Structure 1
Amino acid sequence: MNGPVTLFRESPEDPFSVTGAASAVLDHRGTVVGWGERAETLLGHRAEEIIGRSAAEVLLAPGDRDHVLDAVAACLECRGWFGIVPVVRADGDRVLLGVRARCVTRGSPDCEWFLVAAPAEAVIQWETDRSVLDGLFRRSPIGLAEHAPDLTVLRVNRPIARIGGVSAEQARGHRIGDFLVEEDARTIDDRLRQVLETGRPMIFTEQSCRLRADPARERFVSVSAFRMEDSEGQVLGVTQLVEDVTERHRARRRLALLDDAGARIGTTLDVTATARELTEVVVPALADCVSVDLLEPVSRGEEPSQDGLGPVRRTAAKSVVARSEQVQYPVGELIHFAPHTPQGTCLAEVRPVLVSHIEGIDGLSAVAHERARQAQEIGVHSVMLLPLAARGLVLGLVTLWRARHPEPFEDDDLTLAGEFAARAAVCIDNARRYTREHHAALNLQCRLLPAELPDLPAVDVAHQYIPAGAVAGVGGDWFDVIPLSGARVALVVGDVIGHGVDAAATMGRLRTAVHTLADLDMEPEEVLSHLDDLVHRLAAEQEANARDFPNDQVTGASCLYAVYDPVSRCCSVARAGHPPMAVVTPDGKAGFPDLPAGPPLGLGGLPFEAMEFDLPEGSLLALFTNGLIQTPCHDVDEALELLTAELSATTRPLAETARNVVDALLPARPTDDVALLIARTRVLASERVATWTLPAEASAASQARALMNDQLSAWQLEEMAFTTELIVSELVTNAYRYAGGPVTLRLIRGPCLICEVSDSSSTSPHLRRARSTDEGGRGLFLVAQLTERWGTRYGREGKTVWTEQALPTTAPAGAGVPGVSG
């Protein structure tokens, strides 16, 4: 108040305002003794015409008079009355007026009546509005509070009094901060003050509401507010409507968490990642600390025990509470829960355990065991344990703690956490099953790939095999380095269509077939032709078995087969639907030879073509599968540029080059298997190779022995002369006897002593055991006994029979290492 008197302008909506209502005064007999100007305007009766006359006779119609007088008589006991009265205007029209009558006295025993009247429509509307206001304060389920401009409480209704924990009378004169915790009260005060200052209403703002008397219980209210003003616009305060929406808020939050869990749990087929996703969904939305413990076999992707018993391994954990690591076991630790503990009960009986209120150190000892004291220090007061079970198998359990969050876990929280656990359990079981299959396929793949590559005189090699990520699974990519006769080497890279165990098994069959064909010393195009026939037959077998094995993958593959000769520096390459290999010369120039493409393996009946080219010593060959260059990170052209850039650094070690290629081209989780084989060519020095052409005459064998003995003396291998002489004599004699034409003898000193005899015949010698009566047939048997390996390879103009002998352990220094120039 600014002074002793406070003035208000009457509202134009008030039907009984001075400017809107008619007034009259009646004496105790009902005679009109006073008549207002508004009454004359409203009813048409002038004051001089109606004063002194009976109001009932002038203003009431004969048919209404008795009813009105009876109603008025019934209200006399209250010394006043209020109602709708039919009144006759001066022009004879009958109108309805809302009339209020109050008894007044002038010092005599008789009383007079002061009447105020207004049109019935306005009065009824006013009464309806008053009833709404009365209902808001007395019967509405929504809380209503009136605040003065200084935000003290003027009036509250019963619902908001219940929220505040006081009666409506006790709330008057207090502030919000007297009932709510400081943080929540300050937020509401700030918003109400903003409504007071700006006049803009606040609509449906959700707000935390914690009482000072019970700060652990968190409520949520929906608040709307508007500024109160009088008819002149003077601010009278602010009114807020408050609805308790705690249950609705929690239900909405639970639905949001379930939706979030559906999107975030199970995004990978990895057991550990799935457990970690569960912890990220739960904390801090539902719990302050959470841990996921899986039975030991499950953590390895194996089948758990049917009874759910056994040690568990802490697979994932998350907390927002300081020093929680003092209570929780670290990730990776093996834990043994006794059967009588809540954890043991949860696993054995496959049922959730809820401990809403943990009482004292004894209560904590039941769930935190030897770490109960630390749990008490960080404020743990509520815990839930839920089993992880799917498809009839117990996989582990989830433990949820509350320490910082003041409210204890409730049954609704247990239901929500159970939904999380059920979804996570199915995803973990899927991941476990996939992990088991993935490990089986990966182990099969790794066992079928070469464990160690041989040290060969032809090439220096390095390799990389990168299995596909979890989604795609292990594929059928492979590589091989196969030593051939004459110090040559076969470099092989292939790719089987599909993924999983089927692809790995098919890869193993093809790799075995390549080894067999390589031992036959076939040309690259012939090797691919035989592989094509094999893949075609495998596809036919799978098609025939499709009824019994409907999920079998269709067999198909690609392959690149290269043969390098370190003596001639010639490289012969053929490919079947495979990316071409990269060639980098010693000066760093990289390129991709335009090799004939050839169809993929398995189409059948189509020819393959090989390409030959000479390589300078120290050239780099890179054979790879398409997973290296077909990635989401790069298009093919960009990948090939990156590949050549990494290969051009020819001075780096091969193993480092192979790693750099993989790092530059592949993402962290490749979508396809990758096999990479890098080889640096070597050349056998001329002093380690001796070649002679012998005439087709009877003295060829003796000439061969003499030449051989001289060469072994030059190589300081005289102790090998006797056995080598027998071998050379037998091979040259057979060539002279059965082939005709000149004979070529070649000796190669590498890791072993290689002897080759070539002729123009295509007849293959066969090893047999001679009978006692046979005069011959023991030569090749003798050769086989004196050598480590022997065999025959065919060329375009004849054949070559070759043998390999181990060098003596007393050979001169360097005799047992690859004899390469440079």
Structure 2
Amino acid sequence: MERRPTPPSHPAQTHAVPQGAHTAEATIDARGLVTGWSDGAVLLLGYPPAEILGHRAALLLAEPDRDAWRAAAAGARWSGTAALRHRDGHRLDRDVLVHRRPSSERPGGAEWLVVSAVTGPAPAASGQALGAWAFDRSPCVCAVFDERLRLARASAGTQRALSLAEGTMRGLRLTDIAPYPGSAEAETRMRRVLDGGGPQEARLRLDPADPEREWHAWLVPLTDPDGRVRAVALTAHSDPSERLVRQRMLLLSDAGVRIGTGSDVQRTARELADVAVPAFADVCAVDLLDSPPRPAQPSRPGQPGQPSHPGQPGAAPAGGPALRRAAVRTAPDGPPLPQPSGEVLHCPPWSPSGRCLAEGRGAVYPDGDEVVARWAREDPRAAAWIRESGAHSLLAVPLRAGGTTFGVALFGRVRRTAPFDADDLWLAEQLAARAATSIHGAARAQRQHTTTMTLQRSLLPQTLPEQAALDVATRYLPAAGQAGVGGDWFDVIPLSGTRVALVVGDVVGHGMRAAATMGRVRTAVRTLADVDLPPDELLSHLDDLVIHLSAEEAGADNAEETAGGVGTTCLYGVYDPVSRRFTVARAGHPPPAVVTEGAVRFLDVPAGPPLGLGGLPFESYETQLPEGSLIALYTNGLLEPRDHDIDDALDKMFAALARPAQSLDTVCDRVLTTMLTHRPDDDIALLVARTRALHADRVATWELPFDLAAVAEARKLATEQLSDWRLEEAAFITELVVSEMVTNAFRYGRPPVRLRLIHDDHTLTCEVFDSSNTAPHMRRAHTYDEGGRGLLLVGQLTRRWGTRHASTGKTVWAEQFLTQDAKGTEGTEGDKGRG
């Protein structure tokens, strides 16, 4: 290279160069001209920028090697030794690195960046010392074993992987430090390295907190300047991607099975913690949002709790979300943590929990995070588990589903040295979403269940009516589990002539629709019962009604739950205490059980089809029962237990009914406790009745001659009978009622005509029978009409009146309610109204 004259020294022309180690950098364009010149280049070659920029780069070479430069120009990168010429003329042999890159001045062109290190004064620490420091602090697993295969040095990554300090491990063999699969084989390969066998590979398991994690290790000989092998260097790494994917998939699969097994929210929170520890985290806390606390009672109904006030020692500042700790779980070998006590925790908005709930997303907090440290200081009650467990990495995710946030789940790592990362955050969000979905479904199911139960209870009889024919006790037991409340019901309906109707039914399906359909069917039964239809005829009308309901709901949503009551079963029976006869018909329902003189039997009631099918008739069955007989009506849920067959169920029911009992409530409880070992899968309705009888001294019957003159005789007979019953004060109303009803029978009916008076504990009933099927009806008489006021008068003076039909003829009846005065001093409700 031609030497240029040295320019005169002048302060304005002197280019100051930095001292120390720098990079000499030059940029050369496609024409071979220098377009860039760094301060390090000034220090290396002595040229100030003004003297070199725009000149040919070849002037900088002491021995231009065109082949080397052509190679540099052809490739993307070139490295080698170049002979350079200093500004003062002396030669410099330097290692240079040449990069090819797009030109910054000419689009589509190229330029070359030439760099070389410029050494300055030696640093305070030597390169050997820096290497030792790098080894000590390396996050990788690196270790040195001496000629005796005992550990001499261990990096920071090795100490974390083994959860041991270097001082504890120094002087121990690998099989002593990590007595896990692969260690013995690795020692054998290390001995081979010391014997001159060259580098080796091995498989190890090092982490006691993660025994399934496998490490790939390289064993490299360390030689002295004479080439003698003096030690073995072990470096290892683990590629956890495939293993972690498999573990995470297994964990999510396990979560799908174990989280949300019940409808209890607290249980779901505990299940989330059980799944996460120890498979995912070493400690877990689940906090659920609490309803805003009231001043006097911050806890929710039915749950214990202590009020939290900012003035109390250790209380968090008010204003944050109110959370109730639902679950805390730590690894089996971890420190014991205080279990949830039901107290309300007010988390500050800046805390991990408060921020998670406010932002609606999770976050990872590394070791030493200032937010976590502040939370532990200022809210020790909520963050005590972090301090007591020693968690070094924290992860918080919200429990959110269906647009509703239910709480926050917090995970911590103690034994695992690796902190949580973004993949762990995703996995935690999946676990939390599974729990939140279960909580959301449980809350919705609970609301639906409560609503359905409220509807069901409101549609069932609230109290049993007062009547003298039967002693009655009932039980209703809703189904357990996901099925929910069904459509089982029972009813007791007083009829005319002191008779009583007993009803038990079962609407198909569960839930709100089944309960609503049950209410409609039960109302229809009561309406038809008021008409005094025979059981078989009543079921026929009820069958038509269910068919109409089904037709109305044919296009409704969720028709699979119940199609207007199609398939509903019903049993309807009428007991007459005067004749002691029990008439019953059934539509697809189990037959009633009767206990007479200690013997239990089913009544042989013809089996009719379930309601809503149509096309088949219903038949009644009639039997006479001794006084004190027991009648048991029930739904099929009682006979469908899971742990025994139908014959065993019947035997148990018969045995429970046959045993003597002082009360019918005892009989009901005995039947249920004998037959059920758990909450049933289907609803159960149970009705037990004990028969009474009205003896001849309480019933008077006369057959009257078919003549209007017999009306006076009928009044006389009724008055005398009331005198015998000591009901003289009821004579006035009874005479008027008998007179009007007998007169109507003579005028509009056919012979024979019979008059009957029935006196029980609460009522006095007057009945007139004739063989005509024409039913009387009430009407309002005009001013100058001579008749038409009889039934109006009867309706005003009595409690109720009506007509019931038989196969031949009809009976018109009127009922008076006997008050306490009537039973003691022969007064009636009608007397008081008249007075």
Q: TM-score range by the shorter chain?
A: 0.5 to 0.7
- CA change 1:290–1:171 in 2 (3 A) is closer
> Counterparts of 2:602 and 2:327 in 1: how far apart (Å)?
48
1:519 and 1:681, CA in 2 relative to 1: closer, same or farther beyond 3 A?
A: same
Q: Residues 255-334 of structure 1 correspond to what in structure 2 (within 5 A)? A: 255-268=249-262, 271-285=265-279, 286-294=281-289, 296=291, 311-318=322-329, 324-325=337-338, 329-331=340-342
d(CA) in 2 for partners of 1:708, 1:335: 79
1:772 has 2:766 as partner: no
Shift of 1:718: 2.1
Q: Does 1:585 align with 2:596?
A: yes
Query: Are 2:536 and 1:525 aligned?
Result: yes
Q: Deviations over 1:716-769 (max 9, x none)?
A: 322222112211221122223322323222222232222222222222111111
Change (3 A) 1:702 1:311: farther
Matching of residue 352 in structure 1 with residue 362 in structure 2: yes
**8 A Cα contact 2:574 2:584, kept in partner:** yes
Q: 1-side partners of 2:651 and 2:233: how far apart?
A: 69
- Among 653, 658, 662, the alignment partner of 1:648 is 658
Partners in 1 of 2:547 and 2:340 — Cα distance?
56
* Count, aligned residues: 628
Offset of residue 436 of structure 1: 2.9
User: How far apart are residue 217 of structure 1 and its match?
Assistant: 10
Provide the rounded CA distance (Å) in 2 between the counterparts of 1:190 and 1:702.
121
Decide whether aligned partners of structure 1 residues 358 and 478 sit closer, same or farther in structure 2, where only a CA change above 3 A counts: farther
Mean Cα displacement is larger for which, 793-802 or 682-691? 682-691
Separation in structure 1 between the aligned mates of residue 466 and residue 656 of structure 2, nearest angstrom: 24
Q: Deviations over 1:491-536 (max 9, x none)?
A: 1111122222222221111111000000000000011000111111
Q: Secondary structure at the match of 2:538?
A: helix
Q: Are 1:601 and 2:611 counterparts? A: yes
Which of 624, 628, 633 is the matching residue for 2:643? Answer: 633
Alignment of 1:719-730 (within 5 A): 719-730=729-740
The separation in 2 between residues aligned to 1:365 and 1:773, in whole angstroms, is 97
Task: Assess, with a 3 A threshold, how the Cα gap between structure 1 residues 365 and 160 changes in structure 2: closer, same or farther.
Answer: closer
Q: In structure 2, do the counterparts of structure 1 residues 616 and 164 end up closer, same or farther at CA, with 3 Å as the change threshold? A: closer
Give the CA deviation at 1:173. 5.4
Q: Distance in 2 between matches of 1:165 and 1:649?
A: 71
Alignment of 1:182-581 (within 5 A): 209=207, 245=238, 247=240, 252-268=246-262, 271-285=265-279, 286-294=281-289, 296=291, 311-318=322-329, 324-325=337-338, 329-331=340-342, 336-357=346-367, 363-365=374-376, 368-370=379-381, 376=387, 379=390, 382-401=393-412, 409-543=420-554, 545=555, 553-555=562-564, 556=566, 557-581=568-592
Query: Which piece of structure 1 moves more, 552-561 or 510-519?
Result: 552-561
Instruction: Say if 1:362 and 1:174 are closer, same or farther in 2 by CA, change over 3 A.
Output: closer
Q: Pick from 591, 602, 626 the counterpart of residue 616 of structure 1.
A: 626
Cα contact 1:342–1:366 (8 A) shared by 2 = no
- Residue 405 of structure 1: how far off its partner (Å): 7.6
Q: Is the 8 A contact 1:145 1:160 kept in 2?
A: no
Alignment of 1:699-778 (within 5 A): 699-739=709-749, 740-778=751-789
Contact 1:312 1:396 in 2 (8 A): yes
> SS state of the match for residue 396, structure 1?
strand
Structure 1 unaligned spans of 5+: 1-140, 194-203, 211-215, 225-238, 301-307, 818-822
> CA shift at 1:598, angstroms?
0.9
Residue 691 to residue 423, structure 1, CA distance change in 2 (3 Å)? same
User: Equivalents in 1 of 2:410, 2:259: separation in Å?
Assistant: 17
Name the TM-score, length of structure 2 as normaliser.
Answer: 0.66
Identity percentage of aligned residues: 47
Question: Which amino acid in 2 is paired with 1:266?
Answer: G
Question: Given the superposition, is the C-alpha separation of residues 752 and 367 from structure 1 closer, same or farther in structure 2, using an over 3 Å criterion?
Answer: farther
Cα RMSD (Å) = 4.3
Residue 689 (structure 2) aligns with:
679
Residues 338 and 774 of structure 1: CA distance in aligned 2, closer, same or farther (over 3 Å): farther
Question: CA deviation digits over 1:609-663, x for unaligned, max 9?
Answer: 0000011222221111222212322222221122112111232532232233233
Q: Does the 8 Å CA contact 1:752/1:816 hold for their aligned counterparts? A: no
Q: Taking structure 1 as reference, are residues 314 and 171 closer, same or farther at Cα in structure 2, changes over 3 Å only?
A: closer
CA contact under 8 A between 2:509 and 2:561: conserved in structure 1? no
Change (3 A) 1:654 1:288: farther
Corresponding position of 1:174: 172
Please tell me whether the aligned partners of residues 524 and 542 of structure 2 are also in contact (alpha carbons under 8 angstroms).
Answer: yes
Conserved in 2, the CA contact under 8 Å of 1:748 and 1:755? no
Q: Compute the TM-score of the two structures, normalised by the length of structure 1.
A: 0.67
- What aligned pairs does 1:114-133 form with structure 2 within 5 A after superposition? none
Q: Do the aligned residues in 2 keep the contact of 1:387 with 1:396 (CA within 8 Å)? A: yes
The structural deviation recorded for 1:670 is 2.6
> Gaps spanning 5+ residues in structure 2: where?
1-139, 188-201, 218-231, 293-299, 302-318, 829-835
Task: Give the corresponding residue for 1:663.
Answer: 673
SS of residue in 1 equivalent to 2:483: coil
Q: Tell whether the 8 Å contact from 1:222 to 1:242 is kept in structure 2 after alignment.
A: no
| Contact 2:729 2:822 (C-alpha < 8 Å) held by counterparts | no
Quickly say closer, same or farther: Cα 1:721–1:401, change in 2 above 3 A: farther
